[in-house]
Structure 1
């Protein structure tokens, strides 16, 4: 068992790294936490804050704590020669063992004490602090502990079969863990050891910064490993684990190991299997490079022949003379070479070809794709170890995002390799903020995105260090986006000295991004309190900061630092004079210092659809700020969930705000914090399909909250005030009173047991591969009184975003955000336009266990047949027979409840190609 305490939590699409939040106790409330006891202790003001004042022989004893590792605290005495002693007990207080003591600070400033507890595997540990003589002031007690699942006791074993030159199969004899992490390194030993509390998720295989390749993190019995070089030795390891996310616990002693050497067979290994040119303007050309490695060729001296299957793609070994066929001479049975591939489209159409490579008794193929377009698309590459003196290509990537942004034109794509970026490019004022001022177009947006399967982390920590040297630097954003028609995808932005992204432009799309540990709101749309300061006029006419979509994003652990420490940093915000048409879709915000969402001082409507908010405003979640700043200020975070407006001393807010199928929970910093809150907004609200629990108030829409408000199909477990608008078909456990709470057609006989899960662990679970929310949290169980109790109030924008559509599976809509999927399954096929669609077929898990979704597309307009077959080729189900368009992705749900458990094959034929995909049905 490794003993770790992480004060910083990092969640990425590739690696999920969590820490158990330490127990943090201050005495601002003039009381002890529940379960703690004391003798001889009072609470007094000292140096501007309430502290625990300990008299002679006074004690403070904690409640039982599981797996504690360390305690830290602040202290000051009213005189000299005073001592605090800290002890632990593992037998419920029968015996005590001293773990440390400190001579208490006798100055006006507070000293600190830290002691190791070293009980990371012990439950029910008591900690006691004892005062030698009066008076000693104690505050800010912080206890770290390990929050891990039970460690497995038996490792797996590995064997291999079907070894070839570039591939092999790993056979896994499972240990007794819930799963195992399998990795390899080239050479005679794999030194990789995972850390407890770290869960590796996303697409596999993935390559870590040290060259370790992670093969899988699951419970599979066989694993196919590809991308190997012939004649090389690879060392594999497998570590059993239990738990998910922050409580994942690996068995790291005596891992399963295996050493395998690939066959020394003739081989040709291209660096990539596909070269995608994207859009190239007709009449022009674009050149990309391809690295090729060949080994064990026979005869030892000869030539490789490379032929393009299309004259639109031509090849060169020197970058000057191009032809459809070129030759590469080799010697000593090996070759390492770089060739150039030129794509020169002549018409507005899609192009597909192959490079066939042969010689030396080996062969290989590389796929080529490109689009003849009215405008060209340039791809620029960034990498954490890149150099801005390069050309921005795959092989010579840049490092600074600002450098790439300065080159980008409409339609261009900036592709960011995985890893942690520490940008160095400063503007004329010395700021590290990335400023995006230029614009794409509606037909050719500019894209900044992750490299497939990798997660770029834009770490602006230098901004925080700059702030510590000069508080004038507080307020430096990570990215300031004032341009229009940008698409940001798959980025993680952290440690900015203000917002991770401040968005003031229009028609932008921020998707699959994460914002954490920033010194203000993760992403904020809007301007300042005085719109005229923007230089865009005296009032927003709705066209500025307008029509932006924030989709499938996460924002957490953001906290501002000023005289009102924690009072401004939200997860998401659209406030201070936003324009029209801004939407948040399938986003999560948790453990931010102020609110999860803040729509304060809006000028126009804002829409939230299927968004989750929880655990705002907890001081103990933001101890990371103390790593960078002196923590002299008291914490002032509000702690609300979804704050839908604001009409206070800073100015009024306008517009009707919409929240469809949203969840707010755990916002209970005090009895006055809210899950859903109008914040005195008078423009009105539409709240449909909401779920709220464990908040100070679950719903607060007081008399000033706008008469043009509507509340339908909501579920409320706790307190509420609904004093405005119309309502019906809601669920409420409190005492219903007409005109003050949900009242009409009310459901009241429900409980937590009506849900599959209402736990934070399941809310934090990984998203689906399509960005969808985790599958258990907030979902109803069969038999609940909340089923079929609602009204049909459709979610908007399902034509634009088909994944938001939830068919009704019964007599009526269910209450709350998610329809219980049982009974008949809708067979309506959904179409999403995708001009890069190729012939493909993918099997995706549906919204419930008995549904699969077939995602299919065709590179040509065609009549397709899709069938489900058994392993003998017998057709079990004809899923679809009809036409599909070129350039579209189709999503076809199928009901699998009638199929016996087992493995099936899904076949798709478009007349020219036939594709087969495996589908596994588990009962």
Structure 2
């Protein structure tokens, strides 16, 4: 028997590895076709059902309009009908990919999917999926109570990448995650999303991006290079999130409004906390330390950056906030036992720039400065800023087309002019916290002259500097 088994294994080992097939889908295709480039499938459902590790599904130019009979899964999470059920597992070497074909524009229009359940466009429960370079529009809501629909839902998939997927002009959340590790949302846009059906149309369930991980071991999740605007609730929302999420190089503007800029839901640009807002939080647990860095928040209805009653500290590094009601609102909850708002504690704010909040004296509010770390920001203490410190205050640049690789466009909006004090201090989104160019070495015992101006690390001029660390002529100076 052992000899037979050994021979069998030898034969198997000698067989060539069969590569997974790639499939093509086109609105002009037919599901009876073989699914190749010459004879593509018609529905994405057919291609997903045929996919396995290593498969790439190419979406050809055009609009795909699935109907109710194409729903791949019902009753998911006890509440959702899932148009596309991504349940086959990929691997690190052989992920499963759904992508727009070359430079063609593929649009998934979910407006004809109308069922009694909540709706998810792409239900991602398996590992190593890649969604790339297509649009999702028109997702519906049919329930009038408290509910939500979701364009892309991460419900257990790990090591997935959602890249250059634009989710807009629908009634649902862009990307929504409750489970999974090492997932990346990259260079995606979510905009003009408003639910007029549920809860009398208040629009409180349409965020651009929401990560609400329900366990503290779902680690390594990142939102990078994304834009969120005119979502009727928030741009980015981390309420009830149990594990750290990093949001970096992202933009948010005019959230809390619908596409016509009618006021709707909450309207926060970056709702960066909220651990402790649900009954699932138990005594002795530790709030995740979410990180928001190098982001822009402009003209959101409420806060630009918001701690949202978090039960601990958050990190805000080199962000720029302009013309929000409150540019930075760091309010925390007192404890698990006491649902009382207190000034924020444990936060770390470095290199942040606030300019002209619409509410007076609201550059950074509700923060306990003795229990938080504030270093080199334009506030607390306040730095004198003017329009001339900026290369541009033209916010229309935020809508500029992305680069060919999907990365954010190069803009001058809210960028600081070289030579200005906030530029010398390296404030705002254009600088990295760990970057040293521009303020390179530390010099000791400089020659002081009557014409020189020295600044403290908060950017305030110091008439007679004594022992300590200062900024002078673009360099850090230590006077012993």
**Equivalent residue for 1:676?**
305
**Equivalent residue for 2:415?**
779
Mapped contact 2:26–2:62 kept (Cα < 8 A): yes
CA shift in 2, pair 1:793/1:404, >3 Å = closer
**Equivalent residue for 1:445?**
95
CA shift in 2, pair 1:805/1:677, >3 Å = closer
Mapped contact 2:159–2:183 kept (Cα < 8 A): yes
**Equivalent residue for 2:324?**
695
Question: 1: CA distance between counterparts of 2:416 and 2:15?
Answer: 57
- Deviations along 1:459-496, one digit per CA (max 9) or x if unpaired, are 11102xx25xxxx24x2111111111111110111112
Match among 82, 86, 89 for residue 436 of structure 1: 86
**Equivalent residue for 2:177?**
525
- The Cα shift of 1:783 comes to 2.5
**Equivalent residue for 1:555?**
190
- The Cα shift of 1:429 comes to 5.1
Which has the higher mean CA deviation after the structures are superposed, 708-717 or 783-792?
A: 783-792
**Equivalent residue for 2:66?**
423
Question: 2: CA distance between counterparts of 1:614 and 1:443?
Answer: 38
Mapped contact 1:615–1:667 kept (Cα < 8 A): yes
Match among 266, 270, 281 for residue 642 of structure 1: 270
Mapped contact 1:790–1:812 kept (Cα < 8 A): no
- The Cα shift of 1:701 comes to 0.5
- Deviations along 1:146-189, one digit per CA (max 9) or x if unpaired, are xxxxxxxxxxxxxxxxxxxxxxxxxxxxxxxxxxxxxxxxxxxx
Structure 2 residue runs without a partner (length 5+): 1-12, 76-80, 141-148, 334-342, 442-456, 459-473, 475-480
**Equivalent residue for 1:575?**
212
Match among 499, 503, 513 for residue 154 of structure 2: 503
- The Cα shift of 1:749 comes to 2.5
Question: 2: CA distance between counterparts of 1:394 and 1:485?
Answer: 24
Mapped contact 1:587–1:611 kept (Cα < 8 A): yes
Question: 2: CA distance between counterparts of 1:445 and 1:683?
Answer: 37
| 1:675 partner SS | strand
Question: 2: CA distance between counterparts of 1:729 and 1:768?
Answer: 32
CA shift in 2, pair 1:620/1:608, >3 Å = closer
CA shift in 2, pair 1:757/1:794, >3 Å = closer
- The Cα shift of 1:781 comes to 2.1
Q: Does 1:658 align with 2:291?
A: yes
Structure 1 residue runs without a partner (length 5+): 1-280, 285-373, 527-543, 624-634, 733-741, 796-803, 816-822, 824-923
Question: 2: CA distance between counterparts of 1:774 and 1:646?
Answer: 31
Q: Compute the RMSD of aligned alpha carbons.
A: 3.0
**Equivalent residue for 2:120?**
477
- The Cα shift of 1:753 comes to 2.8
**Equivalent residue for 2:253?**
614
Mapped contact 1:557–1:622 kept (Cα < 8 A): no
CA shift in 2, pair 1:662/1:564, >3 Å = farther
| 1:476 partner SS | strand
**Equivalent residue for 2:40?**
397
Alignment of 1:114-125 (within 5 A): none
Question: 1: CA distance between counterparts of 2:395 and 2:424?
Answer: 26
Question: 1: CA distance between counterparts of 2:423 and 2:292?
Answer: 20
**Equivalent residue for 1:749?**
384
**Equivalent residue for 1:811?**
439
CA shift in 2, pair 1:620/1:549, >3 Å = closer
Mapped contact 2:318–2:433 kept (Cα < 8 A): no
More strand by percentage: 1
Mapped contact 1:437–1:482 kept (Cα < 8 A): yes
- The Cα shift of 1:618 comes to 1.7
Match among 789, 794, 803 for residue 425 of structure 2: 789
**Equivalent residue for 2:376?**
729
Question: 2: CA distance between counterparts of 1:392 and 1:805?
Answer: 49
Task: Tell me which of the two structures has the higher relative contact order, counting C-alpha pairs closer than 8 angstroms and 6 or more residues apart.
Answer: 2
CA shift in 2, pair 1:775/1:621, >3 Å = same
Mapped contact 2:252–2:270 kept (Cα < 8 A): yes
Alignment of 1:245-644 (within 5 A): 284=16, 376-424=19-67, 425-427=70-72, 433-463=83-113, 466=114, 472-473=116-117, 475-497=118-140, 498-504=149-155, 505-526=157-178, 544-560=179-195, 561-563=197-199, 565=201, 566-577=203-214, 579-619=218-258, 621=260, 636-644=264-272
CA shift in 2, pair 1:411/1:547, >3 Å = same
CA shift in 2, pair 1:443/1:375, >3 Å = farther
- The Cα shift of 1:677 comes to 0.2
| 1:461 partner SS | coil
CA shift in 2, pair 1:395/1:650, >3 Å = same
Question: 1: CA distance between counterparts of 2:121 and 2:134?
Answer: 12
Mapped contact 2:82–2:122 kept (Cα < 8 A): no
Question: 2: CA distance between counterparts of 1:664 and 1:616?
Answer: 10
- The Cα shift of 1:759 comes to 2.7
Match among 332, 350, 353 for residue 715 of structure 1: 353
| 1:433 partner SS | strand
Alignment of 1:817-828 (within 5 A): none
- Deviations along 1:782-841, one digit per CA (max 9) or x if unpaired, are 23211221499999xxxxxxxx999644225999xxxxxxx9xxxxxxxxxxxxxxxxxx
Match among 374, 379, 401 for residue 766 of structure 1: 401
Mapped contact 1:550–1:583 kept (Cα < 8 A): yes
Question: 1: CA distance between counterparts of 2:235 and 2:200?
Answer: 17
Question: 2: CA distance between counterparts of 1:282 and 1:405?
Answer: 30
Question: 2: CA distance between counterparts of 1:433 and 1:792?
Answer: 41
- The Cα shift of 1:514 comes to 0.5
Larger Rg: 1
CA shift in 2, pair 1:496/1:588, >3 Å = same
Mapped contact 1:617–1:639 kept (Cα < 8 A): yes
| 2:246 partner SS | strand
Question: 2: CA distance between counterparts of 1:377 and 1:558?
Answer: 37
Question: Matched residue pairs, number?
Answer: 388
TM-score (norm 2): 0.74
Alignment of 1:867-886 (within 5 A): none
Question: 2: CA distance between counterparts of 1:619 and 1:791?
Answer: 31
CA shift in 2, pair 1:548/1:706, >3 Å = farther
Question: 2: CA distance between counterparts of 1:405 and 1:596?
Answer: 30
- The Cα shift of 1:546 comes to 1.3
